[in-house]
Structure 1
C-alpha cells in the first residue's frame, strides 16, 4: 500500500493536536464558541483537514456557544493581537492553532481546561510539539496565559505593567510559577 502525502500529514503533531481540539470542541469539553470562533469557511476547512468523517456539534451546547461568543466579542482586538504574536512561534502547518490558543486564553479557567485538555502537562506537550520556541522561552515553566501576556507586555513597552486576563479572579494567584525541578 502506498502512503499518500495527506496520510502522513494526518500524523504530524500539529494535525494531531488540531484534531484533538476539534474533538474536544465537538464533545463540549473545550470552551470555544460555535465553529471554534473561526469563520465558517475556516471551520469547515479545519474539519475536513483533521476529521476522517464529519461530526456535528450537539445542539444542547448552543447556549454555551452563544455566551462564550458574547463574552469574547468585546476582546476581539486583544485576541487578534495574541493570535498574531503566537503565529510567529508556531510550527509550519500549525494554523489555526494560534487562533484557538488565543481564544482559549480569553477563557475564565486555566488554558488547558478551556482547551478541553486533561492537564497542564498535556498543554505543555501541545506547546512543545507546536510552539517549541515558546517552550524554550518559558524556561521557568510559568503558567501559559501569564507567560503569553508577560511576553506581550515586554514586547509592547519593555516593562511588565499588565497581567493575564483572569488573574484577578484566579484562586491560584500565588502559584503562577510551577516549582522548579
Structure 2
C-alpha cells in the first residue's frame, strides 16, 4: 500500500469516498453483492467506521444483493486476485476500497455506474485520491475495468490474453476494443 499524504492529493480523502460508496449502496444506487462483497463482519466494521447505519434493506434491494452475490460466488478467485492487485496501489487508510472496486468490477455496467457514481470523471477523481499510481499508469485514459484486467493479466501471464468481464454485451465495446495504432 502506498502513502498518499492528504495535502498532496487533489481528490477527497479515502473515507469520504468509502462513505460515498456505502451511501450509494444503502440507497440502492450501486450494484454490489450482499454486504458490498465483504465478509459480514468487515461490512459492519466499515459502516461503524463511517458512522452510517446499514439498517434493514428493502425486499427489492435484498433480492438484488442476493442475486449479485450468487453471480459473484463463481468468480471469487477472480475478485480476490483483482482486489489483491489493487491493494498494491492503494493509499494507506483506504481499506477496503480495493475489495469494493473488485466486487463492483464483476458487474455488468461500466465500473462508475456499478459503484453508483455520477460519471467516469468522478471515478477518475476517486482513483486519483485513493490509487494515484494507477492514474499515472493509465496514461491512455483507458476505461478502468479494462485497464485493471489488462494489468492483472500482464502481471500473471506476461501478455495480454485476458479479456474484461461483461464487455461482449456492452454497447460501447467498439470504443474500448478498437484496434490500437
* Aligned residue number for residue 119 of structure 1: 119
8 Å contact kept, 2:32–2:68: yes
* Aligned residue number for residue 81 of structure 2: 81
* Aligned residue number for residue 8 of structure 1: none
| Alpha-carbon distance between aligned partners in 2 of 1:118 and 1:144, rounded to the nearest angstrom | 15
8 Å contact kept, 2:33–2:103: no
User: After superposition, where does 1:144-155 map in structure 2 within 5 Å?
Assistant: 144-155=144-155
Deviates more, 1:94-103 or 1:159-168: 159-168
* Aligned residue number for residue 6 of structure 1: none
* Aligned residue number for residue 8 of structure 2: none
| Alpha-carbon distance between aligned partners in 2 of 1:58 and 1:47, rounded to the nearest angstrom | 14
| Alpha-carbon distance between aligned partners in 2 of 1:162 and 1:43, rounded to the nearest angstrom | 30
* Deviation string, structure 1 residues 23-47 (Cα, Å, up to 9, x no partner): 0000000111221111111011100
User: After superposition, where does 1:22-41 map in structure 2 within 5 Å?
Assistant: 22-41=22-41
- Cα distance, 1:57 vs. partner? 4.3
- Cα distance, 1:59 vs. partner? 2.0
* Aligned residue number for residue 96 of structure 2: 96
RMSD across aligned positions (CA): 1.2
| Alpha-carbon distance between aligned partners in 2 of 1:83 and 1:29, rounded to the nearest angstrom | 22
- Cα distance, 1:117 vs. partner? 0.4
**Structure showing greater relative contact order (alpha-carbon pairs closer than 8 Å, 6 or more residues apart):** 2
- Cα distance, 1:173 vs. partner? 1.2
TM-score normalised according to structure 1 size: 0.88
Which stretches in structure 2 are left out of the alignment for 5+ residues? 1-11
- Cα distance, 1:65 vs. partner? 0.7
- Cα distance, 1:54 vs. partner? 2.1
TM-score normalised according to structure 2 size: 0.88
* Aligned residue number for residue 168 of structure 1: 168
* Aligned residue number for residue 4 of structure 1: none
| Alpha-carbon distance between aligned partners in 1 of 2:165 and 2:172, rounded to the nearest angstrom | 14
Secondary structure of 2:154 counterpart: helix
| Alpha-carbon distance between aligned partners in 1 of 2:53 and 2:175, rounded to the nearest angstrom | 41
8 Å contact kept, 1:112–1:120: yes
Which stretches in structure 1 are left out of the alignment for 5+ residues? 1-11
8 Å contact kept, 1:35–1:43: yes
Aligned: 1:50 with 2:50: yes
Deviates more, 1:93-102 or 1:161-170: 161-170
Number of equivalent positions: 165
